[in-house]
Structures are given as structure tokens and as C-alpha cells.
């Protein structure tokens, strides 16, 4: 069987996407929430990530402008339910 060219794969993807639309398989209201959720979900259950995301929303901290100046220790407290919160706070700060 000959290898499939990149252009053929893209054409297949575009046809499937135009027919089915976005799948919405990753929960998140904004691209930033998806990114933060992806970092927080490492080595923990999604239920715990939801708690951490809810806390960030309560604090009004789900924006780049708000997350950037927040100290790592404060961020760690807010994401504590996600587990490994100090490491994840550092990763989030490095991302921003």
C-alpha cells in the first residue's frame, strides 16, 4: 500500500470536519481554559481539575493578564485540588 500524502490526509480531515464539525471532546470555554486544563490534568482525575478550574474562575484568574502577575505560591493554593500543585503552578507560570 503506498504511503498517504499529507495533502490527502488534510483533504480527508477537512471533509470530516466540514461534515461533523468540531467534536468538543476537550471541555473548556476558552482556548486558555483548555491549555490550563491540559496542564492541570497531568497525573490527576478530571474531577479534581474541574475543582481547580472553578477556583481559578472564582478568583477571576482565567486570563493571561490576571495569571501573569500572580505569584507562584498564590497560584499553587488556588489549584491545590489538582494535586502536585506546586509543580503545576511552576509549569503554568513558565507557560505564561
Burial code (b: 16+ CB inside 10 Å, e: under 16) for 34-69 equals eebbebbbeebeeebbbbbbebbeeeebbeeeebee
> Tell me: the pLDDT tens digits for 22-59?
877 778 888 899 999 999 999 999 999 999 999 999 99
d(CA 73, CA 53): 16
> Tell me: the pLDDT tens digits for 61-93?
999 999 999 999 999 999 999 999 999 999 999
Q: What is each CA distance from 5 to 1, 13, 17, 25, in whole angstroms? A: 12, 13, 18, 27
What is 31-95's CATH number? 1.10.340.30
Q: pLDDT at position 2, please? A: 58
Amino acid at each position: 500500500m503506498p504511503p498517504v500524502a499529507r495533502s490527502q490526509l488534510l483533504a480527508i480531515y477537512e471533509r470530516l470536519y466540514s461534515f461533523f464539525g468540531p467534536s468538543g471532546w476537550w471541555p473548556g470555554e476558552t482556548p486558555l481554559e483548555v491549555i490550563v486544563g491540559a496542564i492541570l490534568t497531568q497525573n490527576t482525575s478530571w474531577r479534581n481539575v474541574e475543582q481547580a478550574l472553578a477556583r481559578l474562575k472564582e478568583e477571576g484568574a482565567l486570563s493571561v493578564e490576571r495569571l501573569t502577575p500572580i505569584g507562584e505560591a498564590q497560584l499553587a493554593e488556588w489549584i491545590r485540588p489538582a494535586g502536585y500543585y506546586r509543580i503545576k503552578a511552576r509549569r503554568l507560570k513558565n507557560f505564561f
